[in-house]
Structure 1
Amino acid sequence: MVGDHIGYFGEEDLVFMGSMLPHVWVNDSLYTSGQADHLADAIVIHFAENFLGDGFLSIPEMQEFRKFLQLSERGMAIKGKTRKKINVLLKQMPQMNGIQRLSTLLSIFDIMSSTTEYDFLASPKFVQNFQYDASDRFRKVTEYIMKNFDQDISLPEIASVASMGVTAFCSFFKEQYRVTFVEYLNAVRIGHACKLLSEHDRNVVEVAYECGFNNLANFNRQFKKVKNMTPTSYRKTLVV
């Protein structure tokens, strides 16, 4: 979850996140339960805007990268050849010394400065409306949703996670997420359902219950509302 974006991540994925953009990554239960035959890991680079001095990004040579930084406030999924180039460098960085890492980071900046191979994640309206002083509350709520979406989550329950009353929470949620809590919860559930539907060993009824829907009719109705097609029709689109 990146801002108001809900999606799935996989091997070799690469994202570039601007500052103060709320985000949550949650591994599949196969990994969190220790049943996977390998560990899920990631390479992460954090840097402050002034990590090379207050005026570094203002020099003419950094002009194109400054533009890229401005775009990153929505979060970006890097794609194609750009992703492959940067991933090769990232995997080498843990074995490098400090100066080598810094040099490689600048090389990555250079690659990003000229690429158009990316998709935005959060919507522009989310970034415009998001209140930074609400970020901790946002994190707690999104983490709770991701860990419990397959169960019933009542409004009083989720409001207590945010340390708010129900009425205040509903207003907060609609302002920050641009949809109601129920609409957002259903979107998370449908996103998970799409993943499960791609695994053909599960039937539609099993998928519905695994995603937190207590009856098939409601699952079909909500799925069609989000995806404009039935779960069965969606599964057919996955057949190559």
Structure 2
Amino acid sequence: MKISYRHVSTPEVAYRHISTPEDSSFVVKEFCQPRFTNTFHFHHGYELILIVKSEGKMYAGNKVMNYNEGEIYMFGPGLVHCFCNNSSPVGTDELAHAIIVQFTEDFIGKDFFDNLELRKIRELIQLSEYGIKFSKISSAVNTLFFQFQASQQMKNLIILLQILDELSLRSRDSVQLLTDDPRKIHYKDVDSKKLESVFKYVLENYAGHVDSKSAAALAYMNEAAFCRYFKKRTTKTFSQFVNEIRISHATKLLMGTDNGISEICYACGFDNISYFNRQFKIYQGTSPREYRKAFIESNVSAPSFRPTGD
């Protein structure tokens, strides 16, 4: 049994098959780049990702959310995803860093996970079709990712099983499903490039003006056809997608800055405070002010700032 280990310092293609040497059972990759390649892609197998160093926006299935270093993500077959990290602070040379493990369902043999002792791991693998985010990860789990080595084939296999076992036992408050129903989301290989261009356009411009006509041009479609296409592929309208990115950024600012509500509203691309408040409640179930208050009172990574009123 052979495990392929690759260190990647340059961008790869958008659509990544789990292509291993014929006798390899899974692949380990390590990305160290100024920026992750913000491309849409999906696999025919499974993927585990440890975010060692980076933060930014992540798209999975049809949802947008913030991601941070120290988190682990798991994606099942066909679940499109994309990480786009924030720019490094001016004057620094910080690199985005991630360790990725890709494997097929039968990487350790057909029906192996049907054994009673491994039912928790089997459930985890099945659940990954929705996409999973693991937070509150112990240092012991993170350390396992750094123990993969190119010349220790059997040990690498054991390490992967250890990681899967640890993740399968995580408490509910440290596990978040990323999509509601992956069966409603239909992507094809050819969708990756179109959606990549649109996603990049919105990420680079959400704080200012974003419109469906410009997005349609990037996808080489007329506006009406693009809007139908986008809704069919993502189950949401283009404007809903834009608002979701803006609201995800608003939550980050509410938790990490002392900026006023109005200032955050405009910084996220909204030009009307009432509309911002309505959209925030749609996506978060509460008002921006209540969201910030709940975050501070939770004492989870409580910020040292005092929020200013608006």
TM value normalised by structure 2: 0.65
Aligned residue in 1 for 2:70? 12
Q: Is contact 1:4–1:123 with CA below 8 Å preserved after alignment? A: no
Give the alignment partner of residue 278 of structure 2, picking from 202, 221, 227: 221
d(CA) in 1 for partners of 2:214, 2:63: 23
Change (3 A) 1:233 1:111: closer
What is the correspondence of 1:86-105 to structure 2 with a 5 Å cutoff?
Answer: 86-94=141-149, 97-105=152-160
1:128 maps to which residue? 184
Q: 1:123 is paired with a residue of what secondary structure?
A: coil
Any conservation in 2 of the 1:43–1:90 contact (CA below 8 Å)? yes
Aligned-partner SS, 2:98: coil
Between the two proteins, what is the percent identity of the paired residues? Answer: 30
Corresponding residue number in structure 1 for 2:266: 209
Equivalences for residues 1-240 of structure 1 within 5 A: 1-29=59-87, 31=88, 33-34=89-90, 38-51=94-107, 56-59=109-112, 60-61=114-115, 64=119, 65-79=121-135, 84-94=139-149, 97-112=152-167, 117=172, 118-124=175-181, 126-133=182-189, 135-136=191-192, 137-240=194-297
Deviations 1:116-155 (A, max 9, x none): 653211111x433323345413333333322322221111
- Asked if structure 2 preserves the Cα contact closer than 8 Å seen for 1:3 and 1:22, the reply is yes
Letter in 2 for 1:11: E
Give 3-state SS (helix, strand or coil) of 1:8's partner. Answer: strand
From the superposition, tell whether residues 61 and 234 of structure 1 become closer, same or farther in structure 2 (CA, over 3 Å): closer
Instruction: Report how far residue 34 of structure 1 moved.
Output: 4.4
CA distance in structure 2 between the partners assigned to 1:9 and 1:35 by the alignment = 23
Higher helix share: 1
The superposition leaves residues 78-119 of structure 1 with CA deviations (integer Å, 9 ceiling, x where unpaired) of 3456x5543221122258734422331133234445556532
Task: For structure 1, list consecutive stretches of 5 or more residues without a partner in the other structure.
Answer: none
How far is the alpha carbon of 1:2 from its aligned partner?
1.0
Residue by residue over 1:152-176, the C-alpha shift from the partner in whole angstroms, topping out at 9 and shown as x without a partner, is 1111111122222211111122122
Q: CA deviation at 1:72?
A: 0.9
1-structure distance, mates of 2:258, 2:250: 13
CA distance in 2, matches of 1:35, 1:3: 35
Alignment length (residue pairs): 233
Displacement of 1:42 in angstroms is 1.5
Deviation at 1:8, TM superposition (A): 1.7
Q: 2:62–2:185: 8 Å Cα contact kept in structure 1?
A: no
Unaligned runs of 5+ in 2: 1-58, 298-310
- Give the alignment's Cα RMSD to 1 decimal: 2.8
Q: Which residue of 1 aligns with 2:45?
A: none
Is the CA contact 1:23–1:139 (under 8 Å) kept in the aligned structure 2?
no
Secondary structure, in 3 states, of the residue corresponding to 1:26? strand
| Greater fraction of residues in strand | 2
TM-score with structure 1 length normalisation?
0.81
Cα distance in structure 2, aligned partners of 1:99 and 1:221 = 54
Alpha-carbon spacing, 1:38–1:206, altered in 2? closer, same or farther (3 Å): same
Counterpart residue type for residue 23 of structure 1: H
